Amino acid sequence: MADWYADWHLAILLAALVADRIFGEPALLWHRLPHPVAVFGKAVGALDRQFNLESDSDGLRLRKGAIGVSVLILVAAGLGHVLAWLLQQVSHAGPVLEGFVVFTLLAQKSLLDHVTAVADGLSGKGLSGGRAAVAKIVGRDPETLDRTGIARAAIESVAENFSDGVVAPAFWYAVFGLPGLLAYKMINTADSMIGYRSVRHEQFGRIAAQIDDLANWLPARLSAGLIALAALMTKGAASARRALSSAIADSGLHRSPNAGWPEAAMAGACGFALGGPRIYPGGRVEQAFLNAAGRRDLDGGDIRMAVRLTDAACMALWGLVLLLAIAT
């Protein structure tokens, strides 16, 4: 391993996090080149089309899905190893190039911008604007959402995706470098596309969803802690205590073993009740409220409050990475 890699690994992550928050997605680049996640998505889509056959038994579809997603994850990790090795041969430009790779696979600014757009849509065009904006970030049926439903969906999205799109990729890069980062992005992409949320993928995508649950177990809980820390910095000790107590008490009420942690922490920190029943294109899904005693009448201003808290949580993550870099 090149000397610079051992010395600058966490510094590269910190620089990538700061750059992503400032600049976000380099749109001009992705107009000309395919985004790495889009490439992963095409690979998962090809796997689904070629091997998820309705004529197969449930057991065979389960085995095919397990083997297929495992191969894709190993390929992604292998690509990460090769790319890391190549960059480590470049003594001066290597850290910059690796930082750019990490930067492109984080999602702080794009997440905050997309969720802020929901608040802007509500304030500018009312329900129609809010529904159009929220439809871009959540899977539930936007036409069934009133103002509170739109706000709740946006706030839950910013909390969950803070974990999946920011903390988890940063965590796996910190632990395993580019192989860990690329493997995680493949896992997350596979779950979003074939995770067992439909009849077609009930068997074929089951293992993909379970692997994603495992990969996000630690990051989700770390995300809840970062949201509580952000609440302490911006709203005071009482808000931080509510974030932690809500995460511990109510995270298990969520249908996901992981998403409940950042969502419940957000609910407690802001004094909102999140979760509850919702309607997806496939039907109604029942779920208990997180922080059920919190305020349920939400609007665009509450979305902006959640965005500000998530932004502070991103900065708390920067601070954690900085402390680790100094300590090591």
pLDDT at 188 exceeding the cut of 90 = yes
In angstroms, rounded to a whole number, what is the distance separating the alpha carbons of residues 51 and 43?
Answer: 12
Cα-flanking dihedrals φ and ψ of residue 275, to 5°? Answer: 80, -140
Four-residue CA torsion sign, 181, 152, 213, 47: negative
**Whole-structure pTM value:** 0.94
pLDDT at 91 exceeding the cut of 90 = no
What pLDDT is recorded for position 33? 84
Instruction: Give the start-to-end residue ranges of the domains of the chain.
Output: 3-327
In angstroms, rounded to a whole number, what is the distance separating the alpha carbons of residues 236 and 230?
Answer: 9
State pLDDT tens for residues 191-238. Answer: 999 997 789 999 999 999 999 999 999 999 999 999 999 999 999 999
Task: Kindly list the distances between the CA atom of residue 190 and the CA atoms of 122, 180, 183, 309, in Å, as whole numbers in the listed order.
Answer: 32, 15, 11, 29
pLDDT at 75 exceeding the cut of 90 = yes
